[in-house]
Chain A
Amino acid sequence: MKKKARRPAEGGGLNITSMMDMMTIILVFLLKSYSTTDVSVTPSKDLQVPVSTARKPPKMAVNVVVSQKEIVVDGKSILELGSYSDPETGAPTVAVPAEKKRGQSIPELYEVLFDKAESQKQINARLGEEFKGQILLQCDKRLPFEVIREVMYTAGQAQFSEFRFVVIKSGD
């Protein structure tokens, strides 16, 4: 009798109802915060996106992430940034290595973006839309403008002229 009563589906008498409660609450919470926007910002030590009062929702476009360590386009790492000392202030700073630049442009990044632009144009042509050249830019907030300017210049050369800077919505 005792043995029969103490043989639930788990075996061993483990009372899991409390764990089920917890799991159910977590499940409800996650269901509620499930979102289908495909721009995912993954904050990490190297990528802290600035907070802003902007409210416009993001739309899908080519995703360029410039963190403190590297430049990533649509998930694929393109090049790594180097850390240097600022010649003026001596403070540690991040920059594109000089051998990877050509003036204001970054050739490796340009090639990747150019290919993306071409494939995007083909998609747009097939759908009968015009190519808008939108690009999403997620940059770490500590980056000097020089790096961002070079990325924007390179993107502009690859015919991406609509920049959408991804920011985190501030509290209100």
Chain B
Amino acid sequence: MASKRGAAAEELNLVPIMNLVTILIPFLLMAAEFVSVAVIDSTLPAIGAPSTAEEKPEEEKKPLNLSVIITGSGYTVGGSAAVLQNREGDGPTIPCKDVGCPKVDSYDVAELQRLLGEIKDEYADEQNVILVPGSRIAYEVIVVTMDATREDPSKPVDGRPRDLFPYVVIAGGAQ
């Protein structure tokens, strides 16, 4: 009687289940992805002059060659001569919020996006941007800048962030 009633509770053989669990859990733990990963493409060779892929010979629209220079004091936005409305003079176009740009947050990304948005308004077909970081600039700052130049989430278009300049080339040059 006791064995019939308690058969399920007392005589359940857990060994096969334990086998399964003991094998599967370490395997899955090693394969588990706790961070999800994405990539940023930068297709063109990194060093040297800005890419020539976008230059079409003798077209009415001159290539913009939009470039964002990242220095230890801020962003300098430039492009082909006489097409850009950045403030001339010494100092960067968009200085950092804190002098010397000690942290990633010091860089005024919002202002950069605003300025790029204005440029995009004028040159809606332009998709390329050239990034020129200084030698001492931290990689994190470069990634944050690439995020800023790719799209602007504060001005969504059709529910997605507005595309700014998704094709980025990293040039080797500034000091």
Contact = CB atoms under 8 A, between A and B. Distances in A.
Interface of A: 1, 5, 8-10, 16, 20, 23-24, 26-27, 30-31, 33-35, 37, 39-41, 43, 49-59, 86, 88-89, 93, 104, 136, 139-146, 148-149, 152-153, 156, 161-169
Contacts of A146: 135-136
Contact of B41 (A43, A142, A164): A164
A149 B28 CA distance: 37
A50 B138 CA distance: 10
17 contacts: A8-B11, A16-B14, A23-B21, A23-B25, A37-B37, A49-B37, A50-B139, A52-B144, A52-B147, A54-B39, A56-B38, A58-B37, A93-B136, A141-B143, A143-B139, A146-B136, A165-B146
A41 B37 CA distance: 8
Interface stretch (B44-52, B91-99, B117-125): B44-52
Contacts of B140: 50, 141-142
A53 to B, nearest CB: 5
A9 B139 contact: no
B28 A35 contact: no
B142 A145 contact: yes
Interface in B52-99: none
A166 B146 CA distance: 13
Interface residues of B, number: 50
Contacts of B138: 141-145
Contacts of A93: 136
A164 B28 CA distance: 27
Interface of B: 2, 6, 10-15, 17-18, 21, 24-25, 28-29, 31-47, 133-140, 142-144, 146-147, 150-151, 153, 170, 172
Contact of A163 (B25, B38, B46): B46
**Most B C-beta atoms less than 10 A away, residue of A34, A152, A165, A166:** A165
Contacts of A53: 147, 150-151, 153
Contacts of B31: 34-35
Given A153-B46, A153-B172, A166-B37, 16 more contacts: A1-B2, A27-B21, A33-B33, A49-B37, A52-B40, A53-B147, A93-B136, A142-B138, A148-B142, A149-B47, A152-B46, A152-B170, A156-B45, A161-B43, A168-B36, A168-B37
Contacts of B32: 30, 33-35
Contacts of B24: 27, 30
